[in-house]
Structures are given as C-alpha cells and as structure tokens.
Amino acid sequence: MKSIGIIDLGSNSLKLLIAEQKHSNNINVLFERKHQIRLSDYYIDDIPNLSAIGIYKLILSIQNFKEKCKSFNCEKIIVVATETLRKCANKDIVLNEIKKETGLEVKILSGYEESYLGYISTINTLDYNNYFLVDMGGASVEIALIKNKKFKNYASLPLGPIPLSSKFNLFNRISPFTRNEFKNYIYKEFNKYPWLKHGKNLPIVTMGGSIKNIAQIHICNSETYMESSLHNFQMSYSELSYINNIICSLDYNQRINIKGVSKKRADVICASSNFMKYFMLYTHSKKIIINTYGIREGIFYNYLQE
C-alpha cells in the first residue's frame, strides 16, 4: 500500500500525517509536521470571518504540506477542518481559495464526525471497554461516551481553551471568583446532556495537545515518573488538580518558566486544566488516560476499511 497524506486544519495548529499500512491494521508513520497557526487570531468581525491574511497563511501551510506529500509519493491527500472553519461565516470563500491555489478539497467535519474519528483512533490504539472520550481542540471540545467499546453518545461543545480563555480572561493569574464563574458556566453546558450521568465514575481518555502538555508538566515536575511516551499515560484527579492549582496561581510570564510548559500554550493552558478538572468532578472520574493519537489516525483507519 502506498502512503497517504492527511492534513488537519485545527484551531490552534495545522498538522500533517504521512503514513502507510504496516501490517494488519497498524500504522507506519513516515512523517509528521505541525505548523502553529492560531486561525482564530485572524478572525474579523463578530460573525466571524477569516481575514485575507489568515487565508493566505492557511494556503501557504497547505501548499507546504502538499509538497511534502508529493515527496513521499502519497497516493491520496485528505484534508479536513474542524471548529475554526465550521463556524467561519466566509468558509465557502476560504474553501474555494484553497481549492484554487492548491488543487485540494477540504472536508469540514461535523462535531459528530470529529468525535467519531477520535473514537476510531482510540479503539485501534488503546484497549479499554468503558470510558468517556474527551478530544480538546483549540476552539471546541468533543465528548463521547463509550460503552463496551461501542460509540453511544456524543456532544460537540464550543468550550475549547481559546474561547474559554478569552471569555474568562484566563491568560494571567486566576482568582477564586473567576474559577467559580468558570465552573458554573461549563456545568450549565454539561447539564444539557443527561447521558453524561450514565458514565459516572468512568475513566476519561483524553486527546489534544493541551491535555498532553498538562501530562508533560506533571512528568517534568515529578520525581516518580520517567515516561518516554505519553501514550496510555495516566493521571489521577489529585495529580491533575495539583498541576492546575500551580499554573492557575501564576501569571503568563511565570507560567512559561515552569518545566514542561509549552510557550505556545502557556496563555490557554489554564482553560484546559480547569475544564478537565471540572469535567472529572462532574462525572466523578478518578483518572484520565492520554491518547497521543488523534483524528488523523482515525481518518487513516477509516480509509483502510473502505
């Protein structure tokens, strides 16, 4: 089987995966790259529209990724987009410009499709039967309930770390009052989905760069863990809450000096850690499990089955 290129246009970054089938259903990753472009920084108006500069930067990255796919002789290039383009008012213009300049068509995933691809990625790379799946992107969070390895329910919430950080001004030190406001706000959102109560006490499998960064902070500041890989790494509620309390008590300039903190995520990391802390409290979950794979791998596994 020849290689396949998968480009994911996310809210916080653009990611490329080039892979081929290794044996059975396993993936052989040939190349990965990430361009850190926070597309929401290029919104104009409240609608919102993606600016001409944002479109230009997006096309430039896609062209770069396309050239890399050509160097690996990819038989197919699949391009998908998530919440940032989902809610973009001028998305038709954006998609037409991408098609005109790169020759590639972009599929905008629905919340359901994004959540389901995360599920496909998880069941092929981790061995758990019952759990919540939380995929935290930059602009949205997809939550699914998995029972007996079956996809049962899902929700797509506009509660990613970028909009939450802006709404509650979480870029610097966070007061107890703000944390309480944050908790009440997301609990109100959770209450819209009664099925969340059906997963009480289940572990949470997490996906997304910000959650991986929280685990990395924990590892870097612990004398106990010497993990070489984050995949299948577990954190208890008390461990996550401890990290959350530390980073939220500091301003941005102090946060970036903590071991393990990504400078590109230091401004929004508190929104991610607070969300996960309160989701664990809401569902009475005792631990989170890191899945380092994402929707790109889910797309690859889906392609193999077609």
pLDDT tens per residue across span 128-153: 999 999 999 999 999 999 999 999 99
- Domain boundary among the residues 108, 136, 161 is at 108
* Residues 99, 100, 102, 105, Cα dihedral to 10°: 10
Domain containing 101 — which CATH number?
3.30.420.40
What pLDDT, on a 0 to 100 scale, did the predictor assign at position 190?
97
Residue 14's closest CA among 46, 30, 38?
Answer: 38
Q: Would residue 151 count as lying in a domain?
A: yes
Q: Would residue 302 count as lying in a domain?
A: no
Q: What is the pLDDT of residues 187-240, one digit of tens each?
A: 999 999 999 998 999 999 999 999 999 999 999 888 776 666 899 999 999 999
Residues 38 and 154 in one domain: no
Residues 145 and 277 in one domain: yes
DSSP H helical ranges for the chain? 52-71, 83-86, 91-102, 111-125, 161-168, 176-190, 209-220, 237-248, 252-255, 269-283, 295-305
CB-count exposure of residue 88 (10 Å: 0-12, 13-18, 19+)? buried
What pLDDT, on a 0 to 100 scale, did the predictor assign at position 226?
63
What pLDDT, on a 0 to 100 scale, did the predictor assign at position 240?
97
pLDDT band at 25 (very low <50, low <70, confident <90, very high): low
Rounded percentage of the chain residues whose pLDDT exceeds 70: 97
CB-count exposure of residue 47 (10 Å: 0-12, 13-18, 19+)? exposed
Q: What integer is the mean pLDDT of 176-180?
A: 94
What pLDDT, on a 0 to 100 scale, did the predictor assign at position 36?
86
Q: Would residue 116 count as lying in a domain?
A: no
pLDDT band at 24 (very low <50, low <70, confident <90, very high): low
Residues 164 and 278 in one domain: yes
pLDDT band at 2 (very low <50, low <70, confident <90, very high): confident
Q: Would residue 297 count as lying in a domain?
A: no
What pLDDT, on a 0 to 100 scale, did the predictor assign at position 111?
93
Q: Would residue 214 count as lying in a domain?
A: yes
What pLDDT, on a 0 to 100 scale, did the predictor assign at position 229?
80
Residues 146 and 95 in one domain: no
Residues 102 and 137 in one domain: no
Q: Would residue 79 count as lying in a domain?
A: yes
Domain containing 191 — which CATH number?
3.30.420.150
Taking a C-beta distance cutoff of 8 angstroms, is the pair 11, 162 a contact? yes
pLDDT band at 305 (very low <50, low <70, confident <90, very high): confident
- Domain boundary among the residues 108, 135, 156 is at 108
pLDDT band at 172 (very low <50, low <70, confident <90, very high): confident
Structurally, how many domains does the chain consist of?
Answer: 2
Q: What is the pLDDT of residues 43-94, one digit of tens each?
A: 887 789 999 999 999 999 999 999 999 999 999 999 999 988 998 999 999 9
Residues 255 and 185 in one domain: yes
Residues 151 and 285 in one domain: yes
What pLDDT, on a 0 to 100 scale, did the predictor assign at position 228?
66
Q: Please check the confidence at residue 22 and state whether its pLDDT lies above 90.
A: no
Residues 81 and 147 in one domain: no
pLDDT band at 1 (very low <50, low <70, confident <90, very high): low
Q: Please check the confidence at residue 156 and state whether its pLDDT lies above 90.
A: yes
Q: Would residue 118 count as lying in a domain?
A: no
pLDDT band at 154 (very low <50, low <70, confident <90, very high): very high
Residue-range definition of the domain harbouring residue 180: 126-290
Q: What pTM, to 2 d.p., does this model score?
A: 0.93
Residues 99 and 149 in one domain: no
Residue corresponding to tokens 């409240």: 46
Residues 45 and 180 in one domain: no
Query: 10 Å Cβ neighbour count for 23?
Result: 6
Residues 85 and 194 in one domain: no
Residues 153 and 89 in one domain: no
Task: Give long-range contacts, CB 8 A cutoff, 24+ apart: 172-180.
Answer: 172/251, 172/252, 173/248, 173/249, 173/250, 173/251, 174/248, 174/249, 174/270, 174/274, 179/248, 179/274
Q: Whole-number mean pLDDT of the chain?
A: 93
For 126, how many CA atoms within 13 A lie in the half-sphere containing its CB? 30
- Domain boundary among the residues 80, 108, 136 is at 108
What pLDDT, on a 0 to 100 scale, did the predictor assign at position 133?
98
Q: Would residue 173 count as lying in a domain?
A: yes
At residue 214's C-alpha, the angle toward residues 210 and 249, to 5°, is 105
What pLDDT, on a 0 to 100 scale, did the predictor assign at position 123?
96
Q: What is the pLDDT of residues 89-126, one digit of tens each?
A: 999 999 999 999 999 999 999 999 999 999 999 999 99
